A = this chain, B = another copy of it.
Amino acid sequence: MKKIINNPDHVVSEMLEGFAKANPSVVYFPEAEVIARREKKAKVGLVSGGGSGHEPAHAGYVGEGMLDVAVAGNVFASPSADRVLKGIQEASSGKGVLLIIKNYSGDIMNFNLAKELAEMEGIEVDSVVVKDDVAVKDSTYSTGRRGIAGTVLVHKIAGAKAESGASLAEVKRVTEKTIANIRSMGMAMSPCILPGVGKPGFVLGENEIEIGMGIHGEPGVERTAPQSASALAETLLGKILADYDFRGSEVAVMVNGLGSTPLMELHILFNEVEKRLEPLGIKVRKALVGNFMTSLEMAGASVTLLKLDGELATLLAAPSAAPAFRA
């Protein structure tokens, strides 16, 4: 394993230390692995977070117009409730705090526990759960769908709404609307290596890719032979459109790289996705192509579609000063 690190136990703290030095607009709380805006505002506080290894998520999305606080867990492990509690405290200005949680049992449990602890301190806290990954069947009984790259668009829209001075209930409403209208589907071509493990978590042969693999290398829906960009766009979009009818609507499209897939390939994939939308009467109002929610050095990509109405389109286009999402 060749990684530019010092000690697997310290990757998160050294990364965030470096991140805060490189971005003077944030402050770093080392005990809690929390990154928060330096300038606070009286507004609804937005807290997100999750396991590390998905950079620039989540710290990169802290900034005016987006999150107030990102809470980092260890690599691929939800941050603990006490860290999230610290995040809530930092985000709170008395107007309530909204937690944006990705749907993994670890995250749900830790964020909910933190919410209870914060409420005991008198902070008003509400939460939303992002579950955009159509690779997994939705279910109320079991854990259900994962939250993946679409979360970044949720951060953006919630952030713009909160920045506008809206109430906690209003921010939550718009955030839930975003979540209801967003779908993603991904695929992986090579594994990633956890710093503490030192070898790949799974193997994909020279002639295999995995459709629907999760951003932590959780299993996907099928292994196929490598496909052309065109066939891949067909496959990924096909799964998304089978789940949600985007026909005739305006959308935001995100083509997200998982880590080691070159931007060249992401743009080629986006080109193929875009070609298929027009004939369906789907209009791309905003496109995002890049590494927004990664899985360490995994190769692969995901496609996300978000249906926009006037409100969501305006919020998506609003300014953002977050280091990894400037608009």
* Chain A residues proximal to chain B, CB less than 8 Å: 2-6, 11, 14-19, 21-23, 52-53, 55-56, 60, 189-190, 206, 209, 226, 228-230, 232, 259-272, 274, 284, 287-289, 291, 294, 296-297, 299, 301, 326
Contacts and interface: CB of A to CB of B under 8 A. Distances in A.
In order of increasing CB-CB distance, the 4 nearest A-B pairs are A260-B260, A18-B271, A18-B267, A55-B263
A68 B22 CA distance: 28
A96 to B, nearest CB: 30
Contacts of A16: 267
A194 to B, nearest CB: 11
16 contacts: A2-B206, A3-B265, A4-B232, A5-B268, A16-B267, A19-B267, A19-B289, A23-B287, A52-B264, A53-B264, A55-B264, A55-B267, A260-B299, A262-B294, A262-B296, A263-B294
Contacts of A17: 271
Contacts of A289: 18-19, 22
Contacts of A11: 264, 268
Nearest to A231: B6
A193 to B, nearest CB: 10
Given A5-B228, A55-B262, A206-B2, A268 B299 contact: no
A284 to B, nearest CB: 7
A232 B264 CA distance: 28
Contact of A4 (B5, B266, B288): B266
A199 to B, nearest CB: 11
Contacts of A190: 2
A182 to B, nearest CB: 18
A105 to B, nearest CB: 24
A18 B274 contact: yes
A14 B296 CA distance: 27
